[in-house]
Amino acid sequence: MKKNLFQSMSLMAPVLLLSACSGTKEKATETKPLNIIHIMTDDHSFQTISAYGHALGKLAPTPNIDRLAARGVLFRQAFVENSLSTPSRACLMTGLYSHQNGQRQLGKGIDTTKVFFSEILQQHGYQTAVVGKWHMQCEPKGFDYYQVLWDQGEYYNPEFKSKETNGEYVKREGYATKLTTDYALEFLEKRDPNKPFCLLVHQKAPHRNWMPEEKYLHLYEDVEFPLPETFDDDYATRCDAARTQEMRIADHMTLVYDLKLNELKDTPPYNKEWSSQGLQNSLDRMNPQQREAWETAYKTRHEDFKQKQPQGKDLAKWKYQQYLKDYLRCIKTVDDEVGRLLDYLEKNNLMENTVIVYTSDQGFYMGEHGWFDKRFMYEESFRTPLIISYPGKAKGIENTDLVQNIDYAPTYLDIAGIEKPEYMVGTSLVPLLDGKTPADWRKYLYYHYYDYPAIHMVRRHDGVRDKQYKLIHFYGDKDEHREAINCNELYDLQADPNEQNNLYGKAEYKDVQDRLQQQLDRFRQEQQVDEW
């Protein structure tokens, strides 16, 4: 019989955790509840974590995130349900799909009547905290402590809100990534050491427009990053959605806002860039020391641009190199701050009683298909990094099971010894952490992107993926921006990992196509999806 999670319970002192939670057949023993730390960055691609072995990670290593991977399990098939920041965060907090928690798009949407997993942990005696990016239009629910950024948050001297600021966001001096870690450590210092804790460390970085920390403004200056195989993708076999997006580095990455050539802000045609004022606003909030370092660093870039005057394909490649340098400079500080947090845990003897998760709110395009940003169900944005270090579980191994961000809430309840509510659609990842796959583990994932028309103009689509194949359905009526679309794509991910050869409608793949379509229909029906 399932427990009533909301009945009155005494606060957790040392409790009995059943052996099912530890993966052994030993008798239940008295032990301290495990602590939980969920580190989530914004738009961090798996390609730029060196533990994943990608070429970019080798040129720009992440030793502290790798250090965490050496202590735990690195997931190679971790995915999101909707590759967009706010919906991803809602999936994390609720264990529900976007259409179930209400947060289909950016902005308003979250159904605040849904219970957040933090509320359940809090009711069971956990001290709870969230620091950094919240990005949902509701107050943080179920947290004893919070310091959250305004909206996306600024990189330099950002505003934070806490329980003590009476709803006001207060400007803080410093760099957002480091400040977020400062607040995480403040919570750890002030918590009650006799109670377990759950701490969400949500970094703003490396979200657009990729403004590096002052000390890393010249990092990777002499590095030439390799172009991805698909940088010049022509989308020949794809639906119109791949051709009509607005996220190409060549055409849509701006020289002023994205690449920091502020000297061009009053020069036609760059003065028409929609985001030029956004960069100026970010620069104006810097203190004199920060601004001087910034101007010195990007003067070099401007001089290089002026000297080369790149055009056409050369301009696209030049943009790519500058984009990668800024993005990876932001990652360098993220990695430093992961190291600072791990050092604190080690120094205070918390590593052996704390589960640590590293992930991102979604993946990101590092020039694949010529793109930046996310949104599509193609692998680079659908797939996300995920590393879990769990005391007493496997260390230094890789997992290839299909997991998704709807699984986090059930996982954290499981770690706390709490049975998940029946309404949660996600599944605890704890059984995978011994290096074994349960016989009944999922064979398919469901994805659904809704945010159109919106920035980058990616059409609405849903789809399913198994370990080898992926079926995507793009849909939408004609509007003032685009023609109607009702189009399907099918990929064999083993034969075509770059997803350039659409197999939909090919006779030899009819059985696969029919099987995936049946599964897609089943997801829509069972999860009561109300649009596709």
Q: Residue 450 maps to which CATH number?
A: 3.30.1120
List beta partners, residue 305.
Answer: none
383, 400: one domain: yes
Residue 235 lies in a domain: no
Contact 463, 471 (CB under 8 A): yes
Residue 64 lies in a domain: yes
206, 258: one domain: no
56, 191: one domain: yes
Per-residue pLDDT of the chain (532 residues; tens, 9 = 90+): 333 333 333 333 333 333 333 343 333 345 789 999 999 999 999 999 999 999 999 999 999 999 999 999 999 999 999 999 999 999 999 999 999 999 999 988 999 999 999 999 999 999 999 999 999 999 999 999 999 999 999 999 999 999 999 999 999 999 999 999 999 999 999 999 999 999 999 999 999 999 999 999 999 999 999 999 999 999 999 999 999 999 999 999 999 999 999 999 888 888 777 777 889 999 999 999 999 999 999 999 999 999 999 999 999 999 999 999 999 999 999 999 999 999 999 999 999 999 999 999 999 999 999 999 999 999 999 999 999 999 999 999 999 999 999 999 999 999 999 999 999 999 999 999 999 999 999 999 999 999 999 999 999 999 999 999 999 999 999 999 999 999 999 999 999 999 999 999 999 999 999 999 999 999 999 999 988 7
Residue 89 lies in a domain: yes
Number of domains in the chain: 3
Question: Which range marks the domain in which residue 310 is found?
Answer: 243-324
**Rounded alpha-carbon distances, angstroms, from residue 262 to 271, 277, 281, 302, 327:** 10, 10, 11, 8, 18
Q: For the domain that residue 382 is a member of, what is the CATH number? A: 3.40.720.10
Alpha-carbon distance of 392 to 32, in angstroms, equals 13
Name the domain boundary from 384, 412, 436: 436
Residue 24 lies in a domain: no
Alpha-carbon distance of 21 to 5, in angstroms, equals 18
87, 200: one domain: yes
Taking the model in full, what pTM does it have? Answer: 0.93
356, 388: one domain: yes
318, 337: one domain: no
- Structural element, H or E, at residue 130: strand 127-132
Identify residue 157 by its one-letter amino acid code: N
171 CB-contact burial (10 Å; exposed 0-12 / middle 13-18 / buried 19+): exposed
470, 494: one domain: yes
Residue 466 lies in a domain: yes
Name the domain boundary from 436, 455, 485: 436
58, 145: one domain: yes
Residue 367 lies in a domain: yes
Which residue in 320, 326, 417 sits closest to 369, CA to CA?
320
191, 317: one domain: no
52, 176: one domain: yes
70, 150: one domain: yes
